[in-house]
């Protein structure tokens, strides 16, 4: 992204991701993508020519990291907030992904068919963590859309299920305490669940969970070894996690 374009939006910050391979403009105030987006992108796998959709792409953090990790895939981000969508489009252009990545206006509260797109090979999302505004102190208005799912987690799961073809893959990162809800909402039309808990420390409960499901999949559920982010008493993340964040390796779903 050029210096002149950065000066056009002085209220935004530019963050380096994937070891500096990406530069992402994010709002100085409001929701800023970080660890969850990086983990979600690392969990996305695309073979050459496959198409993937991100529901609620925001400024494009997970979308663009997934695109960089899957250089022969084509990706579409869906975002309802016009300011976030404008940032995503600028980030796509600034990182020279226009040929195979785009972002469009859309709302998971509306039917997938409203987008007039054929189903994708894969879909992924980091849904807002809360359905009930009373469950947490009111977020800053600029962050509300990222924290509160106005239509509930059920709308997100229904949208993702419609967004993929039969045999298509759905990948979600969410709060660990919503795992049962995620499985229940996806199970009517998906299976072959693979689950990776994400722990801040080896001796601490999981705070996040990564879930992979296959539409019409029939394989048994698999609970995979956890991702442990840090060691107590050590600075920064574990070396394997840092390598994951730098894009030097992908998340292992086997």
3-state secondary structure of 176: helix
**134 domain-assigned:** yes
The per-residue pLDDT for 4 is 34
Query: What would the pLDDT profile of 183-207 be if each residue is shown by its tens digit?
Result: 999 999 999 999 999 999 999 999 9
Q: How many domains does the chain have?
A: 1
Q: Mean pLDDT, to the nearest integer, of 151-169?
A: 95
User: Is the whole model's pTM more than 0.75, yes or no?
Assistant: yes
Query: What would the pLDDT profile of 83-109 be if each residue is shown by its tens digit?
Result: 999 999 999 999 999 999 999 999 999
Say if residues 192 and 165 touch (Cβ distance below 8 Å): no
**123 domain-assigned:** yes
For the chain, the average pLDDT equals: 88
pLDDT beyond 50 at 149: no
Q: Mean pLDDT, to the nearest integer, of 144-149?
A: 42
Angle between helices 82-94 and 61-69 in degrees, nearest 10 = 30
Structural domain that includes position 199:
3-245
**17 domain-assigned:** yes
DSSP conformation class of 138: P
Please give the angle made by the CA atoms of 221, 224 and 171, to the nearest 5 degrees: 70
Angle between helices 61-69 and 35-42 in degrees, nearest 10 = 30
The per-residue pLDDT for 150 is 58
User: Tokens 């660990």 correspond to what residue?
Assistant: 176
Q: Mean pLDDT, to the nearest integer, of 109-125?
A: 97
The per-residue pLDDT for 133 is 47
**252 domain-assigned:** no
Q: How many residues does the chain have?
A: 254
The closest alpha carbon to 66, from 35, 92, 89, 45, belongs to 45
Q: From CA 187, how far away is CA 172, in angstroms rounded?
A: 14
Two tokens, residue 20: 């500096």
The per-residue pLDDT for 247 is 93
The per-residue pLDDT for 23 is 93
**161 domain-assigned:** yes
**251 domain-assigned:** no
65 — pLDDT class (breaks 50, 70, 90):
very high
129 — pLDDT class (breaks 50, 70, 90):
confident
122 — pLDDT class (breaks 50, 70, 90):
very high
> Facing residues of 78 across strands?
55, 104
**185 domain-assigned:** yes
Q: From CA 113, how far away is CA 90, in angstroms rounded?
A: 26
pLDDT beyond 60 at 49: yes
The per-residue pLDDT for 14 is 87
DSSP H or E stretch at residue 121: strand 120-125
Say if residues 210 and 173 touch (Cβ distance below 8 Å): yes
Q: Mean pLDDT, to the nearest integer, of 28-40?
A: 81
The per-residue pLDDT for 7 is 37
pLDDT beyond 80 at 8: no
First to last CA, the chain: 37
Report the CATH number that the domain containing residue 47 is assigned in CATH: 3.40.50.150
**84 domain-assigned:** yes
């Amino acid at each position: 992204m050029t210096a002149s374009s950065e000066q056009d939006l002085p209220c935004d910050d530019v963050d380096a991701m994937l070891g500096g391979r990406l530069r992402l403009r994010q709002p100085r105030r409001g929701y800023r993508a970080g660890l969850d987006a990086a983990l979600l992108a690392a969990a996305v796998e695309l073979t050459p020519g496959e198409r993937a959709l991100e529901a609620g792409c925001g400024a494009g953090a997970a979308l663009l990291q997934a695109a960089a990790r899957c250089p022969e895939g084509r990706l579409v981000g869906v975002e309802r907030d016009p300011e976030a969508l404008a940032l995503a489009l600028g980030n796509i252009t600034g990182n020279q992904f226009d040929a195979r990545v785009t972002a469009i206006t859309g709302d998971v509260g509306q039917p997938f068919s409203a987008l007039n797109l054929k189903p994708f090979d894969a879909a992924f999302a980091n849904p807002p963590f809360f359905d009930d505004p009373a469950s947490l102190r009111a977020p800053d208005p600029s962050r509300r859309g990222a924290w509160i799912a106005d239509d509930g987690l059920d709308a997100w799961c229904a949208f993702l299920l419609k967004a993929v073809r039969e045999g298509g893959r759905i990948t979600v990162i969410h709060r660990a305490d919503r795992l049962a809800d995620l499985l229940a909402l996806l199970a009517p039309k998906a299976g072959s669940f693979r689950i990776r808990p994400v722990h801040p420390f080896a001796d601490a409960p999981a705070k996040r969970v990564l879930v992979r499901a296959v539409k019409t999949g029939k394989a048994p559920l698999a609970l995979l070894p956890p991702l442990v982010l840090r060691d107590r008493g050590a600075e920064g993340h574990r070396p394997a996690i840092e390598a994951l964040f730098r894009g030097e390796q992908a998340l292992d779903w086997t």
